[in-house]
Amino acid sequence: MDDQNAATDAGTAIAVAEESNQPIIGQKDKLEELCVNTIRFLAVDGVEKAKSGHPGTPMGMADMAFVIWTDFLRHDPTATKWTNRDRFVLSAGHASMLLYSMLHLTGYSDMTLDELKQFRQWDSRTAGHPEYGHAKGIEVTTGPLGQGFANGVGMGLAARMMAARFNGEDAFKPVDHYIYAICSDGDLMEGISSEAASIAGHLGLGNLIYFYDDNNISIEGETRLSFSEDIKKRFESCGWHVQKIDGHDRGAIRKAIKKAQKVTGQPSMIIAKTIIGWGSPKFHGTARAHGEPLGADEVKATKESLGWPAEPTFHIPVPVREEFLRKTKKLSRERKKWEKGFSEWKSRNVELAAQWDTYWSHKVPDNFESELVAAGNSDKALATRALSGQVIQKLAAIAPFVVGGSADLAPSTSTLMKEGGSIERSKGAEGQSPALDVFKGRNLHFGIREHAMGAVLNGMTLYGSFRAYGATFLIFSDYMRPSVRLAALMKVPSIFIYTHDSVFLGEDGPTHQPIEHLWALRLIPNMMLWRPADGAETALAWAAAVRSTDGPTVMVLTRQKLDPIPRTGPVDIKAIQHGAYLLEGFTEGNITFIATGSELSLAIKTAQLLGREGVKARVASAPCLDLFDRQSVDYQNSVLGDRKRVVAIEAGRSSGWYKYVEHGALIIGIDRYGASSPAERIAEELGFTPEKIAAKVREWM
């Protein structure tokens, strides 16, 4: 049976088992069929044992996965962090058993057969959806649809940027690989994939080779219930190279990948028509195959129809095992050959090699913090976004691996690296792909696509060589919240910059004025949110963000100018790194003001005003409550004092502060939507002036 026939017969019973001896099937085809069916039944058995999961998609995608992983994907299970490996992204994360099976079959040592049998069980490496960090070879956490699609774009962009920096005249090219991804209907329906596709097409990321598993089925039934796009036309409209194939025709899959590899100036989308639940006599091509186990009877019937032994489950025929190991050994040899070439390249290119190491190690100078604090210094009133802009210029000079951009707001977010150069489509002829040189730049232009920006940043950060930031207004953090959460869940140190952080942005009004966003972001576990009050705090927020290895940083900055915080002598870096600390000159008193960002100078002014009336007040700055939470209770008490005698001031929802103060304390927040008006009037009306706060404090005391 040749590939063409295999495709034609898709969905009908094909007996190609170990013991079968159909003469028309060549040895290679027979072995392949055996391999593909092994992948299918590992998924079927895994889901069946877990009594939970998605069998149909792995069954449908098995041909694709087999071809990608055995004929194309350059990886080495014994060197899983090899920089020049191809990345594989299973954007359709619900098909996780497919990925786990591939990792097991290709020899990733931590993905044992026992792990496959522990699918979806407590403490296993084989979670319901692939979780980054749970096992080697899982490049990214996927499951929330559309995210993987956009993460892959970030990886492809990072690869292009590394290639632009390091693939010089030398015959050896240190960065020379692809990003493979498999996406589902759901991925393509989510808006984030449209955003990311637009970015990828715009930048001509020819290193992306994406498959769309076009199986016509979603949870509610056939996709045509809600999905009737011309996908080919859609992707062409944003600059992709598109092919349409039969997703069960392995010859066609091979041809399509080869063609896609040759298209270097456009990302590739391969629309692969598949049958969900391929091989299941009853459920193939139906929604029933999507999200629940086939059930004992149908498993039996499916195994019978494909000539597969009913027992043992998780069966891996010996020839299959041998075939995968043979391929893996070959891959290992190829990787080692690359390492040799790379090591020779390093000795020929000493300076570049040193830079290379800086990129991958994220090495910063020993005096990193103090350099940034110096850069963030200002005697005059400046917005923290402007102070951050000063720090970014210093980062540009001393940390080459820091890159970033904004969602079409760079002039407003002050995030442009002035000397960094822009990554933008070359202004050549229509359809012409950007030259590699374009990717030498450090300033990214995400367009008005916050969600894709978040996921692209995650992909770039996961790639490994960059610390990447993305900026927008704080209100629009809502547009990208799923990606922010995933960074935190993955413990990936993406950097999210949010300016225009309160009602004091003024005239743009309630649609643009964050109220609940500070606390909503602080609720996301495993993330550091900084809301600095001056240049020193802004600089240390940046230092923490760049140094982080175990989670994302959110930086919240003002639009409006803030008076400098009085500091005599050198900045007390350690104090700020505690997340909250008492300000010098305000360490004694009967009440304690605690404030963040723009409200700190308000607290100081109120304390001074009350001081003239004989009320002595302490003032604490709390640039990072997430860090403060990690301090000892003694330290926390030393900052807060009597928790009933605290005045907390923050221009946002008040409720989060109850965690830090006792009932009876005074919390001055904003529990309504804002208003369109010059900021001064808003401050007056909402009671955010020293006089109004002093009056409230007097009444409260």
Question: 180 Cβ partners below 8 Å, 6+ apart?
Answer: 68, 72, 73, 86, 87, 88, 89, 209, 210, 211
Beta carbon nearer to a second copy, 365 or 664 = 664
Q: Check residue 251 for interaction with a second copy (CB under 8 A).
A: no
**Which amino acid is located at 354 in the chain?**
A
Residues with Cβ < 8 Å from 149, sequence gap 6 or more?
Answer: 89, 91, 181, 183, 187, 188, 190, 192, 193, 196, 197, 210, 455
- 3-state SS track over 564-606: CCCCCCCCCHHHHHCCCEECCCCCCCCEEEEECCCHHHHHHHH
Check residue 687 for interaction with a second copy (CB under 8 A): no
Asked whether position 190 contacts a second copy by CB under 8 A, the answer is: yes
Binding segment for a second copy (CB under 8 A), chosen from 12-20, 353-361, 506-514, 533-541, is: 506-514
Residues 558-577 that bind a second copy (CB under 8 A): none
Binding-site member from 74, 202, 547, 567 for a second copy (CB under 8 A) = 202
Does residue 656 interact with a second copy by CB under 8 A?
yes
74 burial (CB, 10 Å; 0-12 / 13-18 / 19+) is middle
**One residue of 224, 333, 340, 363 binding a second copy per CB under 8 A:** 224
* Least distance between a second copy and beta carbon 285 (Å): 17
Q: Is 233 in the site for a second copy (CB under 8 A)?
A: yes
Binding pattern to a second copy, positions 334-353, x when CB under 8 A?
A: --------------------
Restricted to residues 42-81, the positions that interact with a second copy (CB under 8 A) are 50, 52-53
| Residue 26 exposed, middle or buried by CB count within 10 Å (0-12, 13-18, 19+) | exposed
Looking at residues 292 to 331 of the shown chain, list those that interact with a second copy (rule: CB under 8 A): none
Asked if 491 contacts 133 with a C-beta cutoff of 8 angstroms, the reply is: yes
Q: Binding to a second copy by residue 636, rule CB under 8 A? A: no
450 is catalytic: yes
Name the maximum alpha-carbon separation found in the chain.
101
Q: Examine residue 542 and tell whether it contacts a second copy (CB under 8 A).
A: no
Stretch that binds a second copy, among 77-85, 160-168, 294-302, 440-448 (CB under 8 A): 440-448
Q: Does 678 bind a second copy (CB under 8 A)?
A: yes
Nearer to a second copy, 177 or 512 (CB): 512
Taking the least distance from each CB to a second copy, the nearer of 339 and 408 is: 408
DSSP three-state, residue 18: coil
Answer yes or no: are the C-beta atoms of 96 and 127 closer than 8 Å. yes
Does 675 engage in binding with a second copy (CB under 8 A)?
yes
Q: Of 239 and 279, which CB lies nearer to a second copy in the complex structure?
A: 239
Q: Are 568 and 547 in contact (CB under 8 A)?
A: no
| CB nearer a second copy, residue 228 or residue 549 | 228
Decide: is 363 part of the binding site for a second copy (CB under 8 A). Answer: no
Strands (E), 127-278: 179-183, 208-214, 217-218, 221-222, 241-246, 268-273
Sequence length of the chain is 701
Is 194 a binding residue for a second copy by CB under 8 A? The answer is yes
Select from 11, 128, 251, 464 the one that contacts a second copy (CB under 8 A): 128
Per-residue tokens: 470: 């993305």
Which residues does residue 620 pair with via DSSP β-bridges, in sequence order? 582, 594
Considering only residues 81, 122, 379, 429, which one is a binding residue for a second copy as defined by CB under 8 A? 122
* 496 is a site residue for a second copy (CB under 8 A): no
Give whichever of 200 and 546 is closer to a second copy, judged by the CB atom.
200
Residue 510 engages a second copy in binding (rule: CB under 8 A): yes
Q: Which is nearer to a second copy, 215 or 223 (CB)?
A: 223
- Active-site residue, selected from the candidate residues 48, 323, 450, 650: 450
Residue 198 near a second copy by CB under 8 A = yes
Question: Scanning the structure block, which residue is given the tokens 């009913």?
Answer: 310
Interface pick for a second copy out of 9, 114, 507, 691 (rule CB under 8 A): 507
Segment near a second copy (CB under 8 A); pick from 67-75, 250-258, 273-281, 424-432: 424-432
Quote the CA–CA distance of 701 and 689 in Å, as a whole number: 18
CB of 296 to a second copy, least distance (A): 19
Q: How far apart are CA 633 and CA 671, in angstroms?
A: 29
Asked if 219 interacts with a second copy (CB under 8 A), we say: yes
Scan residues 522-541 and list those touching a second copy (CB under 8 A).
523-526
Q: Report the nearest approach of a second copy to the CB of residue 413 (Å).
A: 10
Does 109 participate in binding a second copy (rule CB under 8 A)? no
In 407-531 the beta strands, taken as DSSP E runs, fall at 422-423, 443-445, 467-473, 495-499, 528-530
Joined together, the tokens standing for residue 543 give 């230092």
* Dihedral (CA of 570, 574, 578, 582) sign: negative
Among 478, 563, 584, 642, which residue interacts with a second copy (rule: CB under 8 A)?
Answer: 478
Record the tokens describing residue 679, joined without a space: 């900021």
Nearer to a second copy, 110 or 572 (CB): 110
Q: 21, 27, 347, 511: which one contacts a second copy (CB under 8 A)?
A: 511
Q: Which is nearer to a second copy, 40 or 517 (CB)?
A: 517
Tokens of 616: 């002595």
Q: How many C-beta atoms lie closer than 10 Å to residue 471's C-beta?
A: 30
Gap between the Cα atoms of 16 and 308, Å rounded: 8
185 lies in the site for a second copy, by CB under 8 A: yes
| 662 touches a second copy by CB under 8 A | yes
Total binding residues for a second copy by CB under 8 A?
111
Nearer to a second copy, 386 or 452 (CB): 452
Nearest to 158 by CA among 423, 429, 484: 423
Rule CB under 8 A: say whether 617 interacts with a second copy.
no
List CB contacts of 172: < 8 A, sequence separation 6 or more: 341, 342, 344, 345
The catalytic residue positions are 450
